[in-house]
Amino acid sequence: MSKVKVLGFSVSLDGFGAGTNQDLENPLGIRGHELHSWMVRTKKFQKIIGKDGGMEGIDNEFTENSFVNVGAHIIGRNMFGPIRGQWKDEEWKGWWGEDPPFHTPVFVLTHYPRNPIEMKGGTTFYFVSDGVKEALDAAKKLAGGKDIRVGGGVSTIRQFLQSGYIDEIHLAFSPIFLGQGGNLFTGIDFQKLGFTKINKINGEGATHITLTRV
């Protein structure tokens, strides 16, 4: 049965999933890239960016599992790019080049409609301006019965959590404090939402917490 999951989402010890001042030079905000050091070092991530090497182990296993049985992705506009407001043109096609790592349909939440973008490797970006429910319904139609992965940013995940759509969430706690930025936890009552099954595994560069809604 298809599930809606957050997989491999990195947060700081004080709960921030992105830094401040996201822009072209700092796509994850100031110091935001530090959240993902555990993942960048893995063998799976190095393979995604076309390089050899990388570390095996627990962190690598979680990175690999982030792509297993995923039939569609949903991301926020901030994750797609730094452009704000109306689309000025059709040139920006994401951070990832001609062959993005998704290899599935990707639904981008936005207030401003845009035509779909078909990329190499099976990735097509669809732009949804009607809200999270519409994005989820559209993703399920194209996921082929596989899981839906909800990606960043923080605002997107919070919206799906608050709507009660998430079945499972994997958080990778990086051993840093950001102090400010996008906080995932403020105002979110995970227990009230039904996330009562908790699993913890210590990786090489992060502590992995999996929350399952029962």
Tokens of 166: 């998430």
- Span 14-49, pLDDT tens digits: 999 999 988 888 888 899 999 999 999 999 999 998
Q: Does residue 80 have a pLDDT over 90?
A: yes
Q: Letter for the amino acid at 30?
A: I
Which distant-in-sequence residues (6+ apart) come within 8 Å of 179 by Cβ? 14, 16
Contacts 24+ apart (CB under 8 A), 190-193: 193/161, 193/164, 193/166
Domain residue extents for the chain: 4-16+27-84+98-208
Of residues 83, 66, 165, the one with CA closest to residue 127: 83
Maximum distance among all Cα pairs of the chain, rounded to whole angstroms: 45
Mean pLDDT in residue range 57-77: 97
Record: fold of 4-16+27-84+98-208: Dihydrofolate Reductase, subunit A (3.40.430)
Query: How many angstroms separate the CA atoms of 125 and 75, rounded?
Result: 10
Q: Does residue 191 have a pLDDT over 90?
A: yes
pTM, two decimals, is: 0.94
| Helix 154-162 with 132-142: angle, nearest 10 deg | 90
Mean pLDDT in residue range 106-110: 97
